[in-house]
Structure 1
Amino acid sequence: MRWTIKPKPERSEVDRLSKELKVDGLVAHLLLQRGINNYGDAKKFFRPELSDLHDPFLMKDMGAAVERIEKAITNNENILVYGDYDVDGTTAVALMYTFLSNCHENVATYIPDRYVEGYGVSFQGVDFADDNGFSLIIALDCGVKAIEQVNYAKSKGIDFIICDHHRPGDRLPQAAAVLDPKREDCEYPYKELCGCGVGFKLIQALAHKKAKTIDDLTPYLDLVATAIGADIVPITGENRILAFYGLQVINSNPRIGFRAIIDQIKKRTLTITDVVFIIAPRINAAGRIKHGQHAVNLLTETDYDQAKKFAEEIEQFNTDRRGLDQEITEEALQQIKDNKEEKRFTSVVYNEQWHKGVIGIVASRLTETYYRPTLVFTKSGDKLAASARSVKGFDVYEALEGCADCIEQFGGHKYAAGLTLLEEQFETFKQRFEKVVSETIDPLLLTPEINIDAQIELRQITPKLMRIIRQFAPFGPGNMTPVFLARGVQDTGYAKGVGEDGKHLKLTLTQKGSKPIGAIGFNLGDKLEVVKNKNSFDIVFSLDENEWNGQVSLQLKLRDIR
């Protein structure tokens, strides 16, 4: 890995903030790197307040959206809550449906079928609304580019309210309201909300009209925090507040559906990382293996016994998903080896039998192995469909634009995209994609980079430092877990490989003047020779806690060793 140490803040600034906050220099250093340079900023960072959430009416079209929903409720119209099949979409649908059904009987939900309708607002979904007498559709986590679908709905007398967070195209749909902080004419102060976050702003505005306070909406924040974590949006500003309080709800009083999942996994306290790697994959598995509506059913259920059944169903979907994911990843890696493509700039693999619901996960796994732009193709009807994943710093969407003449259609963003093409175009596309990437990528980007906050001595690591760093959470883009570098450390002589085939590395480290401290290096078992015989070496790590037999101790979570 490439080790990159972040720029150091000015010494005078570190001293000033350290004095102002009464914290040590290392903590001040970490805060300054996160843009926190005074007491007021630090207070907002460590003690987020729901009262600091922005006025929802600052969002363009919010007034029109509230007015149209109030009209629908007054006139007893049927409202269809429509959302994407991923975690952001299904949590947003659950949030909007739960809120509206508390004050209006005629509300239903609709999640498009991943395999039949594909992503976003579908004509089939509009036909469903028309056939069942819905006159208002609220679309969540999708819709900002659905120009034709919204016009089609309009021709049938159906209005749309769109709550999206994706970048709009040149034109906006002719909807009753388009809520999207990324609209160029929207002056909403925080631009990084996820789809469920935009949905939350809408219920915040509706609640305000009913003289409810933000505290009345706290029970919905378990859904919002889950969407923030799963959609990998920055955990800064408003997202930090929503995630902070949402985690409290998940850990103290989660909705019945979440409780059914948590009871299954038997974990005591969940962090945002647990939400991303434990809760989110289960919710996602419904749409990948069966249908996203199963996730909505779980998240809106109010009877525990029924929720338990739904959670068991979803657990099975997740088990199936894991099995497929592992099987297809192994086949794809073998395909790269068989075709002797280890030295290429790209990985492009195809098998018509691969399950479309997991090719995105497989693309991510291949990227972890070979660390280069990757596409995984499967058969979809009479065409081939692919998921693309990229490496940090390289725009895969732009690379696909360079291959546009051999693609039927594509969409996505810098690091993840999807595309379809005709089977006869596959070989031409594969060669073109390799050529475009090889000519445009900086070779440095083909080695994973690890960003380091500060170089420290092991003696600086104390329970007090750990307590403070724990308060930096929730972690995520814009506020990653602090990563440190320590030079010239030694193992006490008992380093060993642990886990299957000694895949992981367990050791106890010392440095001149420090007490021994335990460390674990996941997937670093191959570094055992480097650390043996009391060799001196450098480590990059984050701080972690190890719980064993009811005892909690500090340990280092190693990221890399030299």
Structure 2
Amino acid sequence: MRWTIKPKPEPQQIKQLADVLKVDGLVAQLLLQRGITTYEEAKKFFRPELTDLHDPFLMKDMDVATARIEKAMTNGENILVFGDYDVDGTTAVALVSSYLVQHYPNVATYIPDRYDEGYGISYKGVDFAEDNGFSLIIALDCGVKAIDKVAYAKAKGIDFIICDHHRPGNHLPDAIAVLDPKRDDCSYPYDELCGCGVGFKLVQALALNYGDTIEDLLPYLDLVATAIGADIVPITGENRVLAYFGLQVINTDPRIGFKAIINQIKKQTLTITDVVFIIAPRINAAGRMKHGQHAVNLLIETDINQADVFAKEIEQFNFERRNLDQEITAEALVQIIENQEEERFTSVVYKESWHKGVIGIVASRLTETYYRPTLVFTKSGEKLAASARSVKGFDVYNALQECSDCIEQFGGHKYAAGLTLLPEQYGPFKAKFEKVVTETIEPHLLTPEIKVDSLISLKKITPKFLRIINQFAPFGPGNMTPVFMAEGLHDTGYAKGVGEDGKHLKCRVSQSTTATMGKGEKSFDAIGFNLGDKLSVVQDGNRFSAVFTIEENEWNGNVSIQLKFKDIK
């Protein structure tokens, strides 16, 4: 791994902010590195307020969207709330539909089938709307590129309101309204909302018309926080406010569906990391293994007994998903080794029997193993479908754009995308993708990077310091958990491998000179997951450096500070 220490702000800047906030210089440095330079900015960071949320009518087309929904309600039209099958899409559908039905009965939901219809707005979904008398479709987390499908709907007399957060193409669909903060002509102050976040802004705008306050919308923020975590959008600005209050809802008064999931996992207080790795995979598992509508049904359920039934079903989907994920990852790794592709700049693997619902997870696993832009293909009808994942600093979406002559359809983000192509295009695509990546990627990006916020002396690590660091949460892109580096460490004699086959490293570290060794210097327990092979680095009194985060560890009722090693050398 590459260790990169972030630039340190000017000493005068650090002192000035430390004096204003009455905090330690290191805390001031961490804040400055996150773009926080004034007392007011720090106050908003540490004490978010719902009033910090922007006026939803600043978003282009919001006035048109709300007017069309009100017209539908006045005229007794049927409204179909349509969303993608992933966490962002299903939470968005649950949010908007459950808000609308509080005010109007003629509302239904629709999630496309991952296998039969694929990603986003589908012709089958539009046909369903026509067959069942829906004249307005609200599309969430999809639709900004669905020009043909929106035109198909319009010819049938069906209007679209699109709420999306993906990059638009050169032309927008002919919808009644296109709510997307990434539109070039949209001057909304924050453009990093997830799809559920854009759906929330629509609800916030409708609420203003109904006389509901922002506090009345608090119960919906558990859904928004979950989508923010799952969709890996920056937890900055408006997303930070939404995630902060959404986590409070999850931990104090979550919706019935979340209660049922939490009852299954038996965990008390959830962080955004828990939401990402515990809640989100379960919601996602429905769309991966069966159908995304199962997730929506759970998230809008108001009876705890029925919700428990749904949650047990989803737990089973997640169990099946985990087994498939492990099995396919193992097969894909064998394929890479047997084809002697370890030296390539990309990993592109294919097997027609692989389950389409887990190829995205497998792509992530392969990226972790070989650390290069990765695509995992499977058969999907008459075509091949793939999930793409990238390494930090490399835009896989742009790379796919360069290969568009070998692709039928693609979409996504900088680090994650999906595509389909014809079987005969697979060979040419694989060759071209390798060529494009080889020619455009900077070689150092193929080595994982750990960004270090600051060097630290162990004596600076105190319960008070950790309490302040914990107030930086919720953590995520744009505000990652602070990572520190300490030099001249030595193990106090407890180092050992723990877990299956000694896979993890456990030790107790101190930092001192040879002259002061053992004379009351500060020491901390440390755990290094997947660092068991580095046991020899810390044994026999060796001096070493480590990069780590600082956390509380609770064991047998005792709470202590623990260092969580990310790497050592």
What TM-score comes out, normalization by structure 1 length?
A: 0.98
Question: What residue in structure 2 maps to residue 132 of structure 1?
Answer: 132
Establish whether residue 559 from structure 1 lines up as the match of residue 534 from structure 2.
no
Give the match's secondary structure for 1:9. Answer: coil
Establish whether residue 306 from structure 1 lines up as the match of residue 287 from structure 2.
no
Task: Tell me which amino acid in the other structure corresponds to 2:216.
Answer: D
For residue 526 of structure 1, the aligned residue among 513, 530, 533 is 533
Alignment of 1:59-78 (within 5 A): 59-78=59-78
Moved more, 546-555 or 405-414: 405-414
Per-residue CA distance 1:111-152 (angstroms, 9 max, x = gap): 000111111111110110000011111111111111111111
Question: What residue in structure 1 maps to residue 123 of structure 2?
Answer: 123
Question: What residue in structure 2 maps to residue 281 of structure 1?
Answer: 281
Question: What residue in structure 2 maps to residue 29 of structure 1?
Answer: 29
Matches of 1:537 and 1:172, distance apart in 2: 56
Question: What residue in structure 1 maps to residue 196 of structure 2?
Answer: 196
Question: What residue in structure 2 maps to residue 457 of structure 1?
Answer: 457
Closer/same/farther in 2, CA of residues 422 and 150 from structure 1, 3 Å limit: closer
Closer/same/farther in 2, CA of residues 173 and 433 from structure 1, 3 Å limit: closer
Matches of 1:545 and 1:470, distance apart in 2: 10
Per-residue CA distance 1:155-195 (angstroms, 9 max, x = gap): 11111111111111122112111111111111111111111
Determine if contact 2:3/2:449 at 8 Å carries over to the other structure.
Answer: yes
Closer/same/farther in 2, CA of residues 146 and 365 from structure 1, 3 Å limit: same
Moved more, 59-68 or 465-474: 59-68
Question: What residue in structure 1 maps to residue 485 of structure 2?
Answer: 485
Task: Tell me which amino acid in the other structure corresponds to 1:268.
Answer: Q
Question: What residue in structure 2 maps to residue 390 of structure 1?
Answer: 390
Question: What residue in structure 2 maps to residue 428 of structure 1?
Answer: 428
Task: Tell me which amino acid in the other structure corresponds to 1:559.
Answer: K
Matches of 2:424 and 2:138, distance apart in 1: 40
Measured after TM superposition, the shift of residue 375 of structure 1 is: 1.3
Question: What residue in structure 2 maps to residue 162 of structure 1?
Answer: 162
Task: Tell me which amino acid in the other structure corresponds to 2:431.
Answer: Q
The number of residues matched between the two structures is: 562
Task: Tell me which amino acid in the other structure corresponds to 1:344.
Answer: R
Task: Tell me which amino acid in the other structure corresponds to 2:544.
Answer: F
Question: What residue in structure 2 maps to residue 318 of structure 1?
Answer: 318
Establish whether residue 257 from structure 1 lines up as the match of residue 257 from structure 2.
yes
Gaps of 5+ in 2: 513-519
Alignment of 1:216-231 (within 5 A): 216-231=216-231
Moved more, 422-431 or 40-49: 422-431
Determine if contact 2:166/2:412 at 8 Å carries over to the other structure.
Answer: no
Determine if contact 1:458/1:514 at 8 Å carries over to the other structure.
Answer: no
Measured after TM superposition, the shift of residue 328 of structure 1 is: 0.3
Per-residue CA distance 1:493-552 (angstroms, 9 max, x = gap): 110111111111111000027411011001100100100011000000011111111211
Question: What residue in structure 2 maps to residue 9 of structure 1?
Answer: 9
Measured after TM superposition, the shift of residue 282 of structure 1 is: 0.4
Per-residue CA distance 1:394-420 (angstroms, 9 max, x = gap): 222233333333333333232222222
Question: What residue in structure 1 maps to residue 236 of structure 2?
Answer: 236
Closer/same/farther in 2, CA of residues 186 and 440 from structure 1, 3 Å limit: closer
For residue 548 of structure 1, the aligned residue among 530, 534, 555 is 555
RMSD: 1.1
Moved more, 461-470 or 174-183: 174-183
Closer/same/farther in 2, CA of residues 400 and 179 from structure 1, 3 Å limit: closer
Measured after TM superposition, the shift of residue 426 of structure 1 is: 2.6
Give the match's secondary structure for 2:145. Answer: coil
- Runs of 4 or more above 6 Å deviation: none
Task: Tell me which amino acid in the other structure corresponds to 2:192.
Answer: E
Measured after TM superposition, the shift of residue 101 of structure 1 is: 0.5
Alignment of 1:464-543 (within 5 A): 464-512=464-512, 514-543=521-550
Matches of 2:263 and 2:99, distance apart in 1: 25
Moved more, 210-219 or 163-172: 163-172
Determine if contact 2:283/2:295 at 8 Å carries over to the other structure.
Answer: yes
Closer/same/farther in 2, CA of residues 204 and 284 from structure 1, 3 Å limit: same
Task: Tell me which amino acid in the other structure corresponds to 1:266.
Answer: K
Question: What residue in structure 2 maps to residue 331 of structure 1?
Answer: 331
Per-residue CA distance 1:421-441 (angstroms, 9 max, x = gap): 232333333233223322322
Determine if contact 1:346/1:434 at 8 Å carries over to the other structure.
Answer: yes
Determine if contact 2:398/2:414 at 8 Å carries over to the other structure.
Answer: yes
Question: What residue in structure 2 maps to residue 172 of structure 1?
Answer: 172
Moved more, 145-154 or 519-528: 145-154
Question: What residue in structure 1 maps to residue 272 of structure 2?
Answer: 272
Matches of 1:205 and 1:560, distance apart in 2: 47
Alignment of 1:353-432 (within 5 A): 353-432=353-432
Per-residue CA distance 1:184-242 (angstroms, 9 max, x = gap): 11111111111111111111111111111100000000000000000111111110000
Determine if contact 1:360/1:376 at 8 Å carries over to the other structure.
Answer: yes
Closer/same/farther in 2, CA of residues 406 and 176 from structure 1, 3 Å limit: closer
Per-residue CA distance 1:17-42 (angstroms, 9 max, x = gap): 11110000010000010111111111
Question: What residue in structure 2 maps to residue 44 of structure 1?
Answer: 44
Measured after TM superposition, the shift of residue 306 of structure 1 is: 0.3
Measured after TM superposition, the shift of residue 346 of structure 1 is: 1.5
Closer/same/farther in 2, CA of residues 15 and 166 from structure 1, 3 Å limit: same
Matches of 1:129 and 1:425, distance apart in 2: 34
Per-residue CA distance 1:438-479 (angstroms, 9 max, x = gap): 232221111001100000101100000110000000001110
Per-residue CA distance 1:37-77 (angstroms, 9 max, x = gap): 11111100000000111111111111111111111111111
Determine if contact 2:350/2:377 at 8 Å carries over to the other structure.
Answer: yes
Per-residue CA distance 1:226-280 (angstroms, 9 max, x = gap): 0000011111111000000000000000000000000110001000000000000
Give the match's secondary structure for 1:15. Answer: helix
What TM-score comes out, normalization by structure 2 length?
A: 0.97
Matches of 2:277 and 2:238, distance apart in 1: 22
